[in-house]
Amino acid sequence: MAVILPRTVRRAAEAALSLHSVPPRAACHFARSLGGVSSACSMEFVSWQNGGGILHRAASVDPTAVVEAGAVVHSGAVLGKEVVVGSGAVVGPSVSIGQSTRVGYNVVLSNCSVGEFCIIHNGSSIGQDGFGFFVDEAGQVKKKPQMLCARIGDHVEIGANTCIDRGSWRETTVGNHTKIDNLVQIGHNVVIGKCCMICGQVGIAGSATYV
């Protein structure tokens, strides 16, 4: 059965194929599985030559960076020299990752920046909404806006399955050379200084300062 496409769609498809894009059906299915990206948007994702991962055409990725198969890098993201993004990881829109940082398997980065020479172990999540709610006059529980970012300094190591929330009234910050163990929860608006050591299963409540 023949399918007739509008000229603009046809040109977009041809351009994507010329950049070694993934097949449209596969790109659509993969992008949707990562957060409801439409089939039209899926045409904007192309395969990366170093590792076989998928990049948005508007991402800025250094030629030495490796994005492994099954990983995806979204629009506006910036990956520096010798960055490695492991299989299953997601680098969200406008996220920046500094030189020589290694991102483990199934890590999710959104609404954040990560400095140089960092290690983020498998399954960690950085930049998701913090736990912020209030009860309105009608007794309904409402979500407080979580609009700011999380900032991770240089030479930081973050253990497996650790979560660091984005800020609401100030940015969540982790200072240079800080080391964080597995299974740590860092709430929104937390400020952690330089050279701190945080052991496994620690929880730091929102808006705390730890230096």
Q: What is the pLDDT of residue 83?
A: 99
Mean pLDDT of the 21-47 span: 57
Reported as half-sphere exposure (CB side, CA atoms, 13 A), residue 19 has a value of: 17
Q: Read off the pLDDT band of 35 (50, 70, 90).
A: very low
53-210, what's its fold? Answer: UDP N-Acetylglucosamine Acyltransferase; domain 1 (2.160.10)
Q: What is the mean pLDDT of residues 34-43?
A: 54
Identify the residue with better confidence: 5 or 71. Answer: 71
Sign of torsion over alpha carbons 95, 101, 105, 107: negative
> What would the two tokens of residue 195 be?
């050279």
Choose the catalytic residue: 56, 121, 155, 188. 188
DSSP string, 174-204: E-TT-EE-SS-EE-TT-EE-TT-EE-TT-EE
> What is the domain partition of the chain in residue ranges?
53-210
d(CA 202, CA 46): 39
How high does pLDDT run on average in the chain? 88
pLDDT at 1 over 50: no
Mean pLDDT, range 61-73, rounded to an integer: 98
| pLDDT attached to residue 43 | 80
* 4 contact partners, CB below 8 Å, separation of at least 6: none
With a cut of 70, say whether residue 21 has pLDDT above it.
no
Residue pair 85/66 in contact by the 8 Å Cβ criterion: yes
Order the strands of the 102-103 sheet from edge to edge.
Answer: 66-67, 84-85, 102-103, 119-120, 157-158, 179-180, 197-198
Residue carrying the six token digits 């984005």: 166
pLDDT score recorded for residue 211: 82
> What is the model's pLDDT at position 5?
45
- The answer to whether residue 188 is catalytic is yes
For 26, phi then psi, to 5°, come to -65, -40
**Contact status, residue 128 vs residue 108, Cβ threshold 8 Å:** yes
pLDDT score, position 95: 99
The predicted-structure confidence for 104-156, as pLDDT tens digits, reads as follows 999 999 999 999 999 999 999 999 999 999 999 999 999 999 999 999 999 99
